[in-house]
Amino acid sequence: MVPISQPPKPAPVKDPARYLSVQGAGMVFDTRNGAFCALRDIDLDVARGEFVSLIGHSGCGKSTLLNLVAGLARPTSGALLCAEREIAGPGPDRAVVFQNHSLLPWMTCFDNVHLAVERVFGGSEPKARLKARTHDALALVGLAHAEHKRPGEISGGMKQRVGIARALAMQPNMLLLDEPFGALDALTRATLQDELMRIVAATGSTVLMVTHDVDEAVLLSDRIVMMTNGPAATIGEILPVPLPRPRDRLALSHDPVFIDCRSAVLEFLYQKQKKTAA
């Protein structure tokens, strides 16, 4: 067995409270109709092992911010640091779970995960161990039985789990989730949220998640970053969620802290940042 639950491996960071540091980041896109300012003045620190959610109305630039952290886009102003190094591009230390799973349809689930494992560990580990890692990652999300199926042969929830397995198998320093459960039905979503909580607790991962689901944000996060409406969106409020872990969704539904947090987010979204043009 490969110990998948081992904590992230990088050299000790001087300031673990600022593991990810976004400093005055802004993003202006050049469009046909001129410059479009998507984000401005984003300042955010994420501590090692923290679970932070980005929430806001659609078009508020939360996915853009995630892409900046992923390195898929570069900010037009400001800087992003991860483990005290500037984020210069995408890399396997910041694994992304995409909204639409983004599995390669011509490969089996095993091969999809193996591609990532091979990239990260291929230089240093024998083949058998790479296979074991792949297998373990799929087992962790409960898909050992479906390894040899192609994405087209499994359900949406299973595909999303393979996407999560692919990200986890890379043992990233940060896990970036872009509305990972947005396309799933409510029951599947709840199951996967519980699994994600279990996995994150076991791996101690640092997570940044984009969501538009208030319950999801409160249930999973240590802090919720609420974004103002775009264009030129920025961080409106940051809400800490002081709920102890492990969290149980059934017990929480009557917990006053949970209810308060939920109300605070709803208030922000539907009063302070009410969408004028729906």
Site residues for other proteins per CB under 8 A = 70-72, 89-92, 94-96, 98, 100, 102, 104-107, 115-116, 119, 150-152, 170
Q: Where are the beta strands (DSSP E) in 47-143?
A: 51-55, 77-82, 85-86, 94-97
Q: Which residues pair with 11 in a beta bridge?
A: none
> Of the two residues 46 and 103, which places its CB atom closer to other proteins in the complex?
103
Specify the DSSP class assigned to residue 107: S
* Residue 123, amino acid: G
Give least dist CB 123 to other proteins, A: 12
> Of the two residues 10 and 242, which places its CB atom closer to other proteins in the complex?
10
> Of the two residues 70 and 109, which places its CB atom closer to other proteins in the complex?
70
Give least dist CB 153 to other proteins, A: 9
How many whole angstroms separate alpha carbon 126 and alpha carbon 130? 7
Give least dist CB 252 to other proteins, A: 33
> Of the two residues 86 and 248, which places its CB atom closer to other proteins in the complex?
86
* Residue 266, amino acid: L
Give least dist CB 99 to other proteins, A: 9
> Of the two residues 152 and 244, which places its CB atom closer to other proteins in the complex?
152
Strand 206-211 to strand 223-227: parallel, antiparallel, or no bridges (unpaired)?
Answer: unpaired
Give least dist CB 116 to other proteins, A: 6
| DSSP conformation letters of 42-58 | EEEEE-TT-EEEEE-ST
The answer to whether residues 175 and 197 touch, using CB atoms and an 8 Å cutoff, is no
174: tokens are 């940060």
Give least dist CB 155 to other proteins, A: 14
> Of the two residues 178 and 215, which places its CB atom closer to other proteins in the complex?
178
Quick check: helix, strand or coil at residue 271? helix
Q: Which residues pair with 237 in a beta bridge?
A: 226
